[in-house]
A and B are shown apart, each in its own frame.
Chain A
């Protein structure tokens, strides 16, 4: 069985091949893991082409992936297929060509490792690190986490009464339970259920977004805007959603 997330090289650069038969939320997690595992091979700030095969990604998914890659220090060069209609043809081409060029495929060495636990050590060279931030990380001494150039990724459920602040983008692999708080100067991505309060762009960045596989917060904050869940409504939706500021309104959209 081939992996749901893999790399391939083409004339434009490195292509990140995604298998959309896998749930989008799981895909996001795999992408982060893959990129982390291949950090030596990818280097700093690489432009990646994202190829989702036969099915084109929708706008929300594209936004989520852009944020995801950005937060890991990379960027999206362009998406393939570009629009859903052209999708089928291009995907077909790609599917045929893929097995023919195995030598173009660049896999990082640790492909078979099933659960790669992120190193507990903090990467020393972090450009944006303040005093407060260091303390928030040392509180997490027992938590598996790692830092990229601009993101702190935490592999743990964040429970009631726990707070994580970070001066960049925050990625949580796990649930953020009610009563927990997240605060990030950049984006916040929760690859699990977000039930606690999240504050993205806490230093005023209105472009910051909050993404969660299950967005169930009672309150969200981006920059200086605060949105709360409607009273009495208790819908449990299991779809990934993304919150961002559009025209000075905090808008939550399906991904």
Chain B
């Protein structure tokens, strides 16, 4: 029996889709059978981030309404044979499917695969309710910003109220130097407020923009630091104990030398 994990955040733009794509791809790279499901109907992105936009024929609304079989709606990834994407519909809105339909899809999927990663839309309305309907556990993504943390707090409360207690946290776009200077909330500050378990910390990384635009999840990039962070998260999801990576290593010798010259 597979596990259904929803990736959610409340606030938009914190990296839900990126996180879902990387976790799904990372799990597939570990040999797991994975389905990525985009529930952001009307504003679909996961297909773009995965580089699978050109393969879309059927979408989640088609599956929910029985216009196609589940298997037909599952787009096979170009990198891994056991990674699939169920895209959201772009021409409809969040009310095009309901919780029961999503729950039914999740139930069917969990018979087939090891992990179903659900990409949740921003907000707390129908889209959110759809996304969490079939989930066994939740990953909350936030940024080290007061507004994002506030929304994450709200979402955690709503998850708990919907029987998804003990969600785990992915803290995205952390800039260690800013934290050091006291200009950014630290991991500790955020954990003190949210009081949930930390799944991982992703450093702010330009590679993410590049990989997102190219449709190549950064988790496959052995050089990128954000990729390393996602690989660690994937291992933690699979139950391995991986220590948090040291974010300070970002500055190499050369960068520091340059800074010294710049008098920074």
Contact = CB atoms under 8 A, between A and B. Distances in A.
Given A142-B161, A161-B157, A175 B193 contact: yes
A159 interface: yes
B161 A160 contact: no
Interface string A140-160: 001000000000000001111
Interface of A is mostly: loop
Interface string B147-160: 00011011011101
B67 to A, nearest CB: 36
B150 to A, nearest CB: 6
B10 to A, nearest CB: 9
A160 B195 contact: no
Contacts, number: 33
Nearest to B161: A142
A70 interface: no
Contact of A161 (B154, B192, B193): B154
Contact of B154 (A142, A160, A193): A160
Interface in A206-245: none
Nearest to A159: B157
A179 B155 CA distance: 12
Report the interface size class on chain A.
Answer: 10 to 19
B160 A179 contact: no
A195 B146 CA distance: 13
Contacts of A162: 157
Nearest to A178: B150
Interface residues of B, number: 14
Contacts of B154: 159-161, 179
Given A175-B193, A175-B195, A142 B153 contact: no
A126 to B, nearest CB: 24
A177 interface: yes
Contact of B153 (A159, A174, A193): A159
A179 B161 contact: no
Contacts of B192: 193
A161 B160 contact: no
A158 B156 CA distance: 10
Contacts of B193: 175, 177-178, 195
Contacts of B157: 158-162
A177 B157 CA distance: 10
Contacts of A157: 195
Interface in B76-129: none
B195 A179 contact: no
B195 A161 contact: no
Interface of B: 150-151, 153-154, 156-158, 160-161, 163, 165, 192-193, 195
Interface of A: 142, 157-162, 174-175, 177-179, 193, 195
Given A142-B163, A159-B156, A178-B193, 16 more contacts: A142-B160, A142-B165, A157-B195, A158-B157, A159-B157, A160-B154, A160-B157, A161-B154, A161-B157, A162-B157, A175-B195, A177-B153, A177-B193, A179-B150, A179-B154, A193-B192
Closest 5 CB pairs of A and B: A159-B157, A160-B154, A160-B153, A161-B154, A159-B153
